[in-house]
Amino acid sequence: MGSRAAVIDLGTNTFHLLIAEGTPAGYTEIVHEQTAVRLGEGGINQGFIQPEAFERGINAMLKFHELISKNPVEKVRVIATSALRNAANGPDFIDKVKSLTGIAIETIDGDKEAGYIYQGIKIAGCLSEQNSLIADIGGGSVEFIICNKDEVKWKRSFEIGAARLMDKFHQVDPIPPLSIVSLNLYLENNLKPLFEACSGFTINNMIGSSGVFETYAEIIESNNGRPFDLKQTKNYAFDKSDLLVLIEKLILSSHHDRAGTKGIIPIRVDMIVTASILTRFVMQKLGISKVLMSTNSLKEGVLADMLR
């Protein structure tokens, strides 16, 4: 038996805790928790964590600390990404967690974040000899990685996550057509480095890393009347037309429609709109016809590193 480790991923929307033991290639999950913290709510583009969000984050960390105490581990790593990285009061949050729990939070940059996402996807077994484009749409940032099973050819993090886009473009619900046009133009401008990088490679498929891609898969399978368990799914291949039809429907939907849709977790009810516009934009811009989903992401990549 390998060692036992705990990894906490402090995302902009959700905090995740994964306690597992074994080896990078074959580990057993002991605890897998996620808490909707909405750290970016009300202040994401101002670079400030609002008091209520700060409090939710602290409470989530206290809960995770308790779970780690009940399931003793040899190593703990806590990784902070976009929202904490860019918040003026991010250091205050890190200090408070340290004083309350003794847990030290590491803030990593977008490049390192993309590297861990690659490792997480790699151990899920969905990469091949051909080039894939991994897309990880978070609340604060979005990582894109051009890679195959052997190496990363290009990677970059963009501070244009779904919560940031929602704050800028989705103030009225359903999202107005003019806002969609503005958002597409914004993506066209901000994702230039991605499109330039992709022009140098043949991209076989796009792999969506957990998050919103899990929601797409859950809704599609539920609509088709098929049983679907995310916990039992490592990788999933989309039918392109099913995916595009669903994306169109989500973009045009109202909050009420989305809240009543089986498969959309509450934290994602509104953020899925800008995430869907982003997904569709990248697929169309790059002419991508094969899309996969992997339930692995950053935390599995960090875990693999710890269990080595």
Query: What strand order describes the sheet that includes 205-209?
Result: 152-158, 142-147, 132-137, 205-209, 291-294, 235-237
Q: How buried is 103 (Cβ within 10 angstroms: 0-12 exposed, 13-18 middle, 19+ buried)?
A: middle
Measured distance CA(284)–CA(79) in Å, rounded? 33
Q: Name the nearest CA neighbour of 233 among 122, 117, 124, 119.
A: 124
Mean pLDDT, to the nearest integer, of 23-40?
Answer: 94
Tell me, what amino acid is at 89? Answer: N
Give tens-digit pLDDT for 72-125: 999 999 999 999 999 999 999 999 999 999 999 999 999 999 999 999 999 999
Whether the predicted pLDDT of 2 surpasses 90: no
Counting runs of H as helices and runs of E as strands, what totals does the chain give?
Answer: 12, 11
Entry pTM: 0.97
Measured distance CA(165)–CA(183) in Å, rounded? 8
Tokens 């309350």 belong to residue: 100
Mean pLDDT, to the nearest integer, of 262-271?
Answer: 96
Q: 127-158 burial string, b = 16+ CB within 10 Å, else e?
A: beeebbbbbbbbbbbbbbbbbbeeebebbbbb
DSSP letter (8 states) at residue 175 = P
pLDDT band for 43, please (50, 70, 90 cuts).
confident
Q: How buried is 282 (Cβ within 10 angstroms: 0-12 exposed, 13-18 middle, 19+ buried)?
A: buried
Mean pLDDT, to the nearest integer, of 31-45?
Answer: 94
Whether the predicted pLDDT of 1 surpasses 60: no
Q: Name the nearest CA neighbour of 198 among 167, 166, 155.
A: 155
Q: 195-204 burial string, b = 16+ CB within 10 Å, else e?
A: eebbeeeebb
Mean pLDDT, to the nearest integer, of 27-35?
Answer: 96
Measured distance CA(64)–CA(120) in Å, rounded? 21
pLDDT band for 34, please (50, 70, 90 cuts).
very high
Answer whether the bond into residue 174 is a cis peptide, omega within 30°: yes
Give tens-digit pLDDT for 208-262: 999 999 999 999 999 999 999 988 999 999 999 999 999 999 999 999 999 999 9
Tell me what percent of the residues of the chain surpass a pLDDT of 70: 99
Number of Cβ within a 10 Å radius of residue 107: 17
What the block records as the tokens of 96 is 């408070």
pLDDT band for 143, please (50, 70, 90 cuts).
very high
Measured distance CA(94)–CA(47) in Å, rounded? 15
pLDDT band for 3, please (50, 70, 90 cuts).
confident
Measured distance CA(293)–CA(162) in Å, rounded? 18
- Domains annotated on the chain, with CATH: 3-107 (3.30.420.40), 127-298 (3.30.420.150)
**Arithmetic mean of pLDDT over the chain:** 96
Residues 238, 214 contacting (CB under 8 angstroms): no
Largest CA distance in the chain: 56
Tell me what percent of the residues of the chain surpass a pLDDT of 90: 96
Predicted local confidence at residue 75, as pLDDT: 95
